[in-house]
Amino acid sequence: MRSLNSHIKINKLLDYSKEIRSKDNKLPKVIIIFDDELFNKKKMLKLKIPKKSAFLLRSYQTKKRKKIAKQLLKFCKMKKIKLLIGSDIKLAKDINAHGVHFPEYMIKENKINWIGIKNIKYRKKWIITTAAHSTRSLKKVEGLDIDAALLSPVFTSKSHPNTKCLGLNKFSKIVKKTKLPIYALGGINIKNVKSLIETDIIGYAFQRGE
């Protein structure tokens, strides 16, 4: 994670996950998004990660993605936390990860074999999450074999500075309308995370935490 130079702030942000009062014991309370091109164990060890956590591997552009996935999985097992693989079902199966995460376009463009996913999900006890950016997207996935959605962007994000954010009020209203467990994502940091705890989220996700 590029933001690990500010690991003190990230550790404070991670600590807020203890405030989440989730009824679902299966799902992590916080998801850390990994989008780097290298795995730096020294930096990773600076993180004080609660056990009810997960990493989500994106790193879509790097040719060493499988190597990073294996390194990250080893780290996750050491920390007794989960690893989700972004978009790549085969990679998740090959390394025996804890689940997969689908970008929104994969749902919209029907790029997923849901019968196959259902079989893997229950055999391997996978966690399956998806990205969503609107009520319409959430309605589309409510009947599918998905455990939770990462709804974004809640706040202005450095990853997508020109994307209009939902804002806390709109985000909270969307969460109340859907049956699907929701993670907050986008611009989350130690200054605004407390306001999210008071909504009906299952947890929150972040990449930089700044």
Question: Nearest-CA neighbor of 130 among 108, 98, 157, 161?
Answer: 108
The H or E element spanning position 123 is helix 114-124
Domains in the chain (CATH in brackets) are: 2-19+26-206 (3.20.20.70)
Identify the pLDDT of residue 209: 76
d(CA 70, CA 35): 14
Would you say residue 210 has pLDDT above 80?
no
In three-state secondary structure terms, 61 is coil
> Among all chains, which residue has been given the structure tokens 């689908």?
102
What percentage of the chain has pLDDT greater than the value 90? 86
pLDDT in tens, 70-84: 999 999 999 999 999
Q: 33-69 b/e with 16+ CB inside 10 Å = b?
A: bbbbeebeeebbeebebbebbbbbbbbeeeeebeebb
Q: Are strands 148-151 and 127-132 parallel, antiparallel or unpaired?
A: parallel
d(CA 68, CA 40): 10
Phi, psi of 79 (to 5 degrees): -90, -5
Q: CB atoms < 10 A from the CB of 109, how many?
A: 9
Would you say residue 134 has pLDDT above 70?
yes
pLDDT in tens, 142-164: 989 999 999 999 998 777 677 79
The H or E element spanning position 68 is helix 65-79
Partners of 130 in the beta sheet?
102, 149
Would you say residue 2 has pLDDT above 70?
no
The H or E element spanning position 27 is none
